Structure 1
């Protein structure tokens, strides 16, 4: 295979890549990567101790494959999946020279994260590109983002079928034009995290029904479930009674209806973190007291679209004991249910470390002083700027 890249430009390319890593590390002094500096020192020793290989006058040509492979990994962003592009790593790395291509193609860790766009255009061409990309992962765990702007679900399932047992993280974005959702979480045997999100528009009833069906049974390794931007019927949610939900450790949901926190926590006995948005109203019934020993972080917010948020959190904390609760953050619920919450933390004897009141929460100085008395080392935050809902 021939390449059009000027060999004299290769040192400039690698210098830019290394400079990017240096700038990243310099901007994060508290997160210095000492392994990187070891590699830099090793590279310097190599350049000083050996001459250029036959036919190569560039110092880059002297670097061992192991060093180049480490540098290649630094070219890959860590905060999101990405769409393949010729001017971005890892595709860019395969176009520099034959040696770089061989190294990059044979590094499965470069090809484990991918964003698939299901919009308009030549799907066959994109599907071929996606499949070629995924094949290079060679059985490694995959992190995929699916941006669904239409309903090409049949084609998508066909593309993903060979890789369903590799996908550990799956993010699915639904647009307003999406009229169906045939993906079933249980089909992805290795799935650990599932995120389904919308552009702020509630899906049509048929899509919501499909989503509820999809999450009824979760894969055995599922730990993180986030359903963002869509209202779930609390009665339907808590009637799932699916044993597969017992494995969840993190849950983020938006619920409508009368919320009974004990009822929800019974569904997820291993939950350590819960983020919930809802229209909280007094509970009319309970299934009895519950001691949930795993929950450490509880964040909840009222709905900003509600005309009134003055009802507070009446009954939300009743019948509940949380002995390991460490972090609580609340927004947009109006009057703070101080008496109910104080009773909760008193009977729980929990190690509360952080209590955060965002915008739309009404408290009094006396109430705040009581928390500091109960927990002298408590991090108490009053921040009205935290007024948006979590999702």
Structure 2
């Protein structure tokens, strides 16, 4: 092609581009003001982020594993590209996975408050020069607003932590996490971090990074601390600090809404006195410790009634289980006595040897059922769950204490779930007696004593019959546990095991037959549904006996889903099985 021909072609392309630009200028999007387009692009940054690394999902289509996201707007036309490049706030969101374009984003962000977050949803490797990336963060630390670099190795995290000095006026959120060897001291934030460096911080989450205990900040609303040496949630911070310093820190954080402490609370010294911790805005509370210190700390925290609570100890408590059980029960009872909500679900679980868990869920406000009643702001608050996980050498007294502590809310409970052996039939009957509105009961594991507790108790006041010096007494609805019960589920229950009722030793399948038959007689109605699942060595004869006293029996082991009325002929023809259920107390 000759020189003149090439010149003519270039001129034609320039004219065509100019013509296209004029046409673009006439379209509605191009007529939008620059400020409006910048706001639209800002929304795209949030809903369509940039992904320059392969996603870790195996089922993600290959063509979707890399995505320019909102950057596509810079490819539409010159005006859009110019607007995007000249708007610093569009470039302020960075991730260390940006790698090669990291410097481009920083340059275009100028002095806009930076949001540096690691994308945990990708399987991306760290940048080729992680040290350079960390140093770049520190160079721009004066205008970082949020910092979450993801999991860093000890050397890089040390460099980052030591560099977080000087004024950090824009810093609002800081998340730092690393793994240290068990015998390695934790990296630590500077002692005067709050007063001198980050006076305006709102969120602080540390994992594997020591905290300057004793200090605090009145601006913090979220504080998560985890000492995860070797990823062990029961590990304890080896840096020396005291229970009193933890108390002092929390007293200096009155604006807290979200508090989580894992392995952070040192042992509590008996006899020490500490002032209460006032956290009037707390919404979520989680404390895990090895010993009883988590429970002692909870007794000091004064929080709203709607706070979601999770307290746990993972090892020996160092004091008598009955003593700490009384402390926990007293705190729980005081919390629930003035509770403006009622829970509809209660779980009592023995998830592992030596552990008992109490779980109160599905809370609803105590709203007056009046169409003309307008709920107040307090009545519309969503209440959190309460979970207490206690490791103790003696489960049964702890379970009895904790259930009794829930007496203020037991009347409103609709669903009860019990896992494992949590007490004798007599103790369970006494503890659960106030729960007269329960309609659903879910049992799992070694729950023979619970089934025995369902047998109506005979009230020994005035006998209805005396024969040869022997008095006979009747059971009443008032003496029946869970009189409103409609549905019962049994999972992984060994019906051939033994249980006890009124001093008699009997098989669990016999106890269930007695409970169903006697309850039908006393209450004048049968159980609506009995669902048996995952129970080995199930007997068809047992199921037929139970079916006489339930409206519907479902069993996956026996592949049956029967209704009592439809199977009456079968049920009548198993008198031997019925007799076995009624009298099999000693086999």
TM category (shorter chain) comes to 0.5 to 0.7
Provide, for residues 169-199 of structure 1, a one-character-per-residue CA deviation record: whole Å limited to 9, x for no partner.
111223456465122433333211110124x
Shift, 1:88, TM fit: 1.5
Correspondences of 1:54-133 after superposition (within 5 Å): 54-56=22-24, 59=27, 62-66=30-34, 67-77=36-46, 87-117=67-97, 126=100, 129-133=101-105
Alignment-derived partner of residue 258 in structure 2: 273
**Aligned residue among 269, 272, 291 for 1:284:** 269
Residue 171 (structure 1) aligns with:
148
When structure 1 is superposed on structure 2, of 88-97 and 254-263 the one drifting more is: 254-263
Alignment partner of 1:196: what SS?
Answer: strand
Deviations 1:133-184 (A, max 9, x none): 1232242221112689589676335523553222111112234564651224
Matches within 5 A, 1:23-42: none
Please give the residue correspondences for 1:1-391 in structure 2 after superposition, counting only pairs within 5 Å: 54-56=22-24, 59=27, 62-66=30-34, 67-77=36-46, 87-117=67-97, 126=100, 129-145=101-117, 149=126, 155-156=132-133, 158-160=135-137, 163-176=140-153, 178=155, 180-183=157-160, 184-187=163-166, 188-198=168-178, 201-202=179-180, 208-211=186-189, 215=193, 218-228=197-207, 230=208, 232=210, 237-238=212-213, 241-242=214-215, 245-255=217-227, 256=236, 262-278=247-263, 283-284=268-269, 286-302=272-288, 313-318=294-299, 320=300, 322=302, 324=304, 326-330=306-310, 332-333=312-313, 337-343=328-334, 354-358=383-387, 360=389, 365-371=403-409
Residue 370 of structure 1: CA displacement?
A: 1.9
* Contact 1:191 1:221 (8 Å CA) reproduced: yes
Match of 2:569 in 1: none
Deviation at 1:113, TM superposition (A): 0.8
2 CA distance for matches of 1:284 and 1:275? 22
- TM-score, normalised on structure 2? 0.42
Match of 2:16 in 1: none
Is the 1:330–1:358 contact (alpha carbons within 8 Å) kept by the matching residues of 2?
A: yes
Q: Is the 8 A contact 2:202 2:219 kept in 1?
A: yes
Distance in 2 (alpha carbons) for counterparts of 1:157 and 1:267: 31
Check conservation: 2:225, 2:264, Cα contact below 8 A: no
**Is the partner of 1:174 in helix, strand or coil?**
coil
Structure 2, unaligned runs of 5 or more:
1-9, 11-19, 54-65, 120-124, 228-235, 315-320, 342-377, 391-397, 420-587
Q: Do the aligned residues in 2 keep the contact of 1:179 with 1:204 (CA within 8 Å)?
A: no
Relative to the length of structure 1, the TM-score reads 0.60
**Conservation of the 8 A alpha-carbon contact between 2:141 and 2:164:** no
Q: Would you say how many aligned residue pairs link Structure 1 and Structure 2? A: 306
Matched residue of 2:296: which SS?
coil
Offset of residue 248 of structure 1? 2.1
Secondary structure in structure 2 of the residue aligned to 1:182: helix
Q: How large is the RMSD of aligned CA atoms in angstroms?
A: 4.8
Q: Distance in 2 between the 1:194 and 1:272 partners?
A: 16
Does the aligned pair in 2 maintain the 1:90–1:111 contact within 8 Å?
no
CA deviations 1:335-384 (Å, max 9, x no partner) are 972223334677999989624145856865543342478xx8x9x99999
Contact 1:297 1:325 in 2 (8 A): no
The Cα offsets for residues 264-303 of structure 1, whole Å up to 9 and x where unpaired, read as: 4134344333122238676105452225154422421536
2-structure distance, mates of 1:106, 1:237: 41
SS of the equivalent of 1:181 reads helix
Whole-Å Cα distance in 2 between the matches of residues 265 and 195 of structure 1? 19
Q: Give me the whole-angstrom Cα distance separating, in 1, the residues matched to 2:174 and 2:263.
A: 21
Please give the alpha-carbon distance, in whole angstroms, between the structure 2 residues aligned to 1:106 and 1:138: 10
Q: With CA pairs under 8 Å and 6+ residues apart, which has the higher RCO, 1 or 2? A: 1
Compared CA separation, residues 68 and 267, structure 1 to 2 (3 A): closer
Change in 2 beyond 3 A, CA 1:163/1:178: closer
